[in-house]
Amino acid sequence: MPSRRSFLRLTAFGILVIVLVTVLAPLLRPRTEPVAQPGPLVVVSLPTLRWADVDERRTPTLDRLAEGAAIGNIATHAVAGHSCSGSVWATLSSGFRVSLDDATPEAPASGPVVPCPPIPRPVPTGGLAELGGPARFPDHARWRAEMLAQPVPAELGLLGRQLQEHGQCIAAAGAGAAIGAVREDGTVAAYQSDPRRADLRRCPITFVSFDGVDDDGLAQVVDRLPRDATLVVTGHADDQAPESLRAVLVRGPGIPEGRLTSASSRQPGLLRTTDLTALVTSRVSALPSTSYEGRIPVVLPGSSGAGVREQLAGTARALDVQHHLVRPFFTTYVLVSLAVIVVILCVLQRDRRRGQTIRRSAAGRALRVTSAAVAAVPVSTFLVGLVPWWQWARPTLGLTLSVLAWTAVLATVALRGPWRGHRAGPAGFLAATTAVVLAVDLVLGGHLQLMTMMGLQPVYGGRLHGLGNVGFALTASGALLAASLLTGRLARRDPSRAARVIAAIGIVTVAVDGHYALGDEAGGSLALVWGFGYLALKASGRRTTWRGVTLIAMLSAVTALVMATLDMLRPRYERSHIGDFLATLIETGDLSTVVRSTVVNNWAMLTSQWLNLGVPVLLLLAAWAARRPLSSLGRPLTLLERQIPLLRIGFTAIVLCWIVGFLTNDSGTSIPPAGTILIVPLVVLMTACAPQPPPEHPPTTA
């Protein structure tokens, strides 16, 4: 490990990096304006509405409202694979994603959509539903109990109760709207069954739910709006249509024209359903900071004209296409890659028997090209977001060709660049490029994370900002491998200096991954400290002792605590989930919700399909290869390490990072497979690039 003086210097460097990120992050954000509500608030749902559906001919009312409004897309996913109106209204009511008697599966790529369950209707308790009297849901107690028993407990009726406590009621027109307006006792203050006849003056807040895109019905509501009213129109749910981002607009006095965003999405023109919950509660100032999952929408001032609407429609179209291409693309990618590499290895065996070396044989050249291309695919799926492929007449073809083009460029640069004379040069270039591209994207706002097959998947319940688990796996694996390759020879000459270089790379990587303004990955920062800590420990020439392990564990915990504290100290409606978690922990002392959510979500992901059950096996095999240098799995690394110092130790650090990430991340099941599709072809590439002379040094003990 570094000396005491070096440790203090690295600590100061880490503090400097975190301070710089904290200070500079607000300066990089674009200016936003608040969504003011000087009068009543009216929220109208038009399920399945997309910006591609809005034009002057088909939807004249919507087209007119969009001009001069704040507009965006909205992610409506609740719990089930497909978003249905009942569950989305319940999500709005509780402030967290919930399911209301709904297990509707994701729509198939081709074929009919599974119908949503009927929306429950309240029973009037003070007159006819047509007259707008009070009503009650008989099944409310059961729904409430089921939602409180979720891995992340949610309280149906929380929105209605908290507003009632502050002297404001919610009127509802339409069955779905009544679910959103329900209070904790199952009652609705005022309910009308016909959304076209909504009484917009009965309460300060009115929810209106139509059964679909009803432009004429919306026109009738708009005609009766009070002059100082704030109007929200939202696509709300997928219902009978395939999953997609839906349209949302906010219009009213004092609301600037532009694109909507929020602290929960950090993406221009993107909200989630629970952000609307936060918008409603922003009328009341004294609500708890961690009551809701969403954050108050704000506006990025600018245009909301046809060009911006086309951009929003293009984003939705891009996410639709890339999601449906994920499974066939990566199935083909993995199977074809394996088949080609196996065939080439068989030819290499034949050539070796004939006395040909791997560097000079045609099969060796083919193996170098193939493995470089396979390793370049993951980062290419991110870089493809720089190309507007969704504007092609055949966007699926555009996406595929764009990925292949980026792959060809990166593989060519890797094999032809100035590092090609170094045995690990091409692999080091691809590992570093993968980590740097994802890190730079986070600094610039994370647009590529959103627009990639290996990214966030916001339509299907993924996060809307920061670094997802797949992106984390690629960033961590690339950074750790690049650090080990970069410092391998240095570790033989000056182990202490090598450890300092590794620690510096680790500090920057952890800051980018874990800081709330960038990756916002709590579990990821824990895993990275373990990976880089182990790599630095072994590069310094020290043995693995309980003292070293304890120090790494303490650094990991302190890092996560610092990241969470920085987030918690921000204003309550700017915090991410990390700051909310720490605030809740300090307030209640209860860790069970987070632990239960992590365990339940990981188990659900592991058992969702039989292939996922191989993830623990994959981790065991990787750990065996790292710890048993003379085994059939570990021998390739041992042979390579004779020419590439620190390689097997770097691989061990990567596996350790995968294991910690798998255990500490919500849905961490995806981390080991995602890291594998980068690391395995890079190891093959190093094998193809490296001659195999007699060993000069014994393998380093991991």
pLDDT digits (tens, 9 = 90+) for 598-628: 666 666 666 666 666 777 888 888 888 888 8
List phi, psi (to 5°) of 593. -65, -45
Residue 172 has pLDDT above 90, yes or no: yes
Q: Rounded CA gap, 177 and 93, in Å?
A: 10
pLDDT at 481: 96
Q: Who has greater pLDDT, 593 or 491? A: 491
List phi, psi (to 5°) of 70. -90, 125
Residue 356 has pLDDT above 50, yes or no: yes
pLDDT at 598: 64
pLDDT digits (tens, 9 = 90+) for 374-424: 999 999 999 999 999 999 989 999 999 999 999 999 999 999 999 988 889
Tell me how crowded residue 511 is: count the other CB atoms within 10 A of its CB.
24
Sorted by where each starts, the structural domains of the chain and their CATH numbers stand as: 37-304 (3.40.720), 403-689 (no CATH)
Q: Who has greater pLDDT, 657 or 586? A: 657
Distances, alpha carbon 360 to alpha carbons 80, 310, 350, 353, 688, in Å: 55, 53, 14, 14, 10
Q: Rounded CA gap, 171 and 190, in Å?
A: 5
Mean pLDDT calculated for residue range 643-661 = 92
Contacts of 481 (CB under 8 A, 6+ apart): 427, 428, 431, 650, 651, 654, 679, 682
Residue 428 has pLDDT above 90, yes or no: yes
Minimum mean pLDDT range among 531-535, 633-637, 654-658: 633-637
Mean pLDDT calculated for residue range 542-549 = 85
Residue 700 has pLDDT above 80, yes or no: no
Contacts of 117 (CB under 8 A, 6+ apart): 84, 86, 101, 102, 104
- Percent of all residues in the chain with a pLDDT value above 70, rounded to a whole number: 90
pLDDT band at 367 (very low <50, low <70, confident <90, very high): confident
Mean pLDDT calculated for residue range 126-152 = 82
Task: Report whether 102 contacts 120 (CB < 8 A).
Answer: no
Residue 692 has pLDDT above 50, yes or no: no
pLDDT at 243: 92
pLDDT at 698: 54
pLDDT at 380: 96
Mean pLDDT calculated for residue range 645-653 = 92
- Per-residue b or e along 130-164, where b marks 16 or more CB atoms closer than 10 Å to that residue's CB: eebbebbbeebeebbebbeebbbebbbbbbbebbb
pLDDT band at 694 (very low <50, low <70, confident <90, very high): very low
Residue 261 has pLDDT above 60, yes or no: yes
Distances, alpha carbon 292 to alpha carbons 67, 117, 152, 479, 618, in Å: 31, 26, 12, 35, 37
pLDDT digits (tens, 9 = 90+) for 332-355: 888 888 888 888 878 777 766 666
pLDDT digits (tens, 9 = 90+) for 69-120: 999 999 999 888 899 999 999 999 999 999 888 888 888 877 789 999 999 9
Quote the pTM value. 0.89
Task: Report whether 543 contacts 513 (CB < 8 A).
Answer: no
Residue 129 has pLDDT above 70, yes or no: no
Whole-number mean pLDDT of the chain?
87
